[in-house]
Each structure stands twice: as C-alpha cells, then as structure tokens.
C-alpha cells in the first residue's frame, strides 16, 4: 500500500471547487480532513464516489490549534464566493471572509511548518482592460468579495506565515456541486435551455477563465512546494494568459461548440440596454506558467464547454429551471440566511 503523503485540512470542501479538490487530493494519496457548514452538500449533479476522509460539518472557525498541529497544510476555500452574494450579504461576507479568516490565520501563525494556501481572485485588480495585470500590479478591488481577498492577502503578509496566495482566474467547468452563476457555466446552461445566450452587458468586459480541475492542480503544486520560495508569502496569478476573453468571445466559444458537438444553432443576444460592467480585467499568468513550464497542461475552454454540455445534458432540472435553482448560489443563500 502506498504511503500517505501528507495530511491536509480543506475548508469549504463541499463547495464547487472543494468537491473536486477533495477527490483529487485523495487520489493523489493525501489524507484529507474537511471543514464545511454543509450549505451545498445536497446540491449534487454528479454522485460522489464514496472516498474515505474525515468530514466535519461545521465552520472552519471551529478548527483547533491541536488539529492544525496535526496537518502539513491548510487549504482555505471557504467563504462567500462571488460579487452578487457579497453585495447582498455584506455582513456575512465580512464575518466569514475577513473576521473568521483572520482568526484562523492567527491560529496557523503559531506553527511554522504548516503551509496556508489561500484561494484569492484576479478580481482584486478591479477594472483593467488596457493592460495585463501581473502580481506586482496595484490592486483596486471594486466589490465586497474582492475587497475581502485583498484584506486577507495583506493580513498574511503582516503575520508572515508560510503561505501561498492563488489569485484565480474566473472559474468554470464541471464539478459534483456545479455552480451556474459563473459566466461560462451560465452561458452553457442558457444555450441548452433556450438555444440562446443573452449577454446583459455590451459584451466587451474581459475575463480570464480557468477550469476547476486546473484550480485544484494549482493547489496541489502549492502543497508539494512547487510554488513556495524563500519569502513567507508567495502570490501567483493562476490561469492561462491565452485564456483572456471578452464576454462576447466566451459566448462565441459556446456557440461554436454547440454547433460542433450537438449540431445545434445558438443565438447570441447582446442587450441594447445595459450599464457599464466595471468587472473587467486582463491578467498576465507568466509567473505561474514559467515556473511550472512543462508540468502545466491547462484545459482549453473548448474542453470545459464540452464537458459542461455532457454533464448538463444528463440533468433535466438544470435545463428546466436553472435560474431559480440552488445551483445559482445567491438563490440558495437567500433561503438559508
């Protein structure tokens, strides 16, 4: 039997990314301990294979120093997870994303050998359509969600703990706990249901994209020490420089793939009445790409779309009423908060 590599705590392991990450790390022979409130534990579109790991259905704020002392790494995914939710639930965002996360960092700071992997976001750059932002670029967060990420990044630097900050591109792709409030996933669901993609902006805002599986690979690289250097806090933009697209380009990618794999025509409708979407940014991922070089094989956007189509086609509920369903996280939180 292969020896267990390391023991890892994952916060938010029953979410969109966490569900994929838990399975991924177990297959890599890590011992996983999950902490999650369980808000989305029953919102499965793919039945999980029963992997053996320890699951705590409680907040990461309950993690004790003893539990921290027993692990090699803490992967912090838990938090209020996007701009609409953050704007509607500001107090909850502040409580979970900032106050409780700072308390967890305080606990981790007592242990020099524990690596803290923090899931941040490229949205910290704010509006950046004219030039590609690097890790050295000034942050200019526009929303409660992105502001919370910047606050925690600064706090990690202040506490000087061994940590890797992953500023992720916009997530997309298949997960057992699928989210349909992400731009690419939303477009695929719309195309399946209505043979149409409605763009609420003018289509010009820019987004870098990354498949959820590639997000998990980045965390694995961080755990393995491939992203750690001498400094206490390492920051990486995580994604692919070639996967910077405008919203309209993303819609056209979906349209192309529907024609290719389903022989279905999808119309793209750009709203004539729209407000300027300031959540627009171009991101340079060369630091991450150059460090990993030949190890890095990100999924193409076409692959992500094709896998989403296959997954959603099997689930009639997604096609029927996804706008009002629990796979749009804001809908679920309105029910439980």
pLDDT in tens, 35-83: 999 999 999 998 877 778 999 999 999 999 999 999 999 999 999 987 7
Q: Is 237 helix (H, G, I), strand (E, B) or coil?
A: strand
Token pair 């908060």 in the structure block, residue: 337
Distance CA 188, CA 195 (A): 9
320: which 2 tokens?
Answer: 């029927």
Residue 171 pairs in a beta bridge with: 210
d(CA 146, CA 139): 10
pLDDT (tens digit per residue) in 285-296: 999 999 988 678
Given this model, what pLDDT does residue 2 score? 64
Topology of domain 7-171+209-241, CATH = Rossmann fold (3.40.50)
What is the predicted pLDDT for the residue at 324? 83
Instruction: Give the side-chain half-sphere CA count within 13 A for 128.
Output: 22
**Do 168 and 235 contact (CB within 8 A), yes or no?**
no
Give ranges for CATH 3.40.50.720 in the chain. 7-171+209-241
Let me know if 249 is exposed, middle or buried by CB neighbors in 10 A (0-12, 13-18, 19+): middle
Q: What is the pLDDT of residue 141?
A: 94
Provide CATH code, domain 173-208+243-277+299-336: 3.90.25.10
How many Å apart are CA 93 and CA 5, to the nearest integer?
Answer: 34
Domain with CATH 3.90.25.10 in the chain: 173-208+243-277+299-336
What distance in Å separates the CA atoms of residue 289 and residue 240, rounded to the nearest whole number?
Answer: 7
And the tokens for 334?
């309105």
pLDDT at 185: 96
Phi, psi (5° rounding) for residue 282?
A: -105, 135
C-alpha of 169 from chain center:
8
pLDDT beyond 70 at 33: yes
Looking at residue 318, what is its pLDDT? 80
DSSP string, 202-234: -S--EEEEEEHHHHHHHHHHHHTTTT--SSSEE
pLDDT the model gives residue 230: 64
Which structure tokens are listed for 244?
Answer: 């910077």
What's the CA gap between 252 and 266, in Å, rounded? 9
Q: What is the pLDDT of residue 274?
A: 65
Lowest mean pLDDT among 206-215, 223-232, 252-261, 325-334: 223-232
What local confidence, expressed as pLDDT, does residue 275 receive?
65
């Amino acid at each position: 039997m292969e020896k267990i590599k390391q023991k890892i705590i994952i916060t938010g392991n029953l979410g969109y990314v966490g569900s994929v990450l838990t399975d991924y790390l177990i297959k890599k022979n890590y011992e996983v301990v999950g902490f999650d409130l369980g808000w989305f534990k029953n919102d499965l579109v793919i039945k999980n294979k029963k992997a053996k790991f320890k699951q705590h259905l409680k907040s990461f704020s309950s993690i004790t120093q003893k539990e921290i002392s027993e692990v090699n790494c803490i992967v912090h995914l838990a938090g209020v997870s996007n701009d609409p939710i953050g704007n509607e639930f500001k107090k909850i965002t502040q409580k979970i994303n900032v106050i409780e996360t700072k308390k967890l960092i305080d606990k981790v700071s007592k242990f020099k050998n524990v690596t803290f992997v923090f899931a941040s976001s490229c949205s910290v750059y704010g509006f950046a359509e004219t030039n590609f932002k690097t890790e050295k670029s000034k942050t200019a967060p526009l929303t409660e969600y992105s502001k919370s990420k910047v606050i925690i990044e600064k706090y990690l630097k202040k506490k000087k703990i061994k940590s890797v900050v992953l500023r992720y591109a916009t997530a997309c792709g298949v997960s057992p706990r699928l989210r349909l409030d992400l731009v690419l996933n939303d477009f695929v669901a719309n195309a399946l249901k209505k043979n149409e993609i409605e763009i609420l902006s003018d289509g010009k805002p820019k987004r870098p994209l990354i498949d959820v599986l590639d997000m998990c690979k980045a965390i694995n690289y961080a755990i393995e020490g491939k992203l750690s250097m001498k400094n206490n806090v390492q920051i990486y933009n995580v994604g692919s420089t070639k996967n910077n697209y405008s919203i309209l380009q993303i819609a056209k990618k979906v349209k192309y793939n529907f024609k290719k794999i389903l022989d279905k025509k999808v119309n793209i409708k750009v709203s004539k009445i729209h407000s300027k979407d300031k959540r627009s940014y171009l991101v340079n991922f060369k630091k991450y790409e150059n460090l990993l070089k030949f190890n890095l094989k990100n999924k193409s956007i076409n692959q992500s779309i094709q896998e989403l189509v296959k997954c959603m086609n099997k689930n009639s509920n997604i096609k029927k009423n996804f706008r009002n369903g629990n796979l749009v996280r804001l809908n679920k939180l309105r029910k439980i908060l």
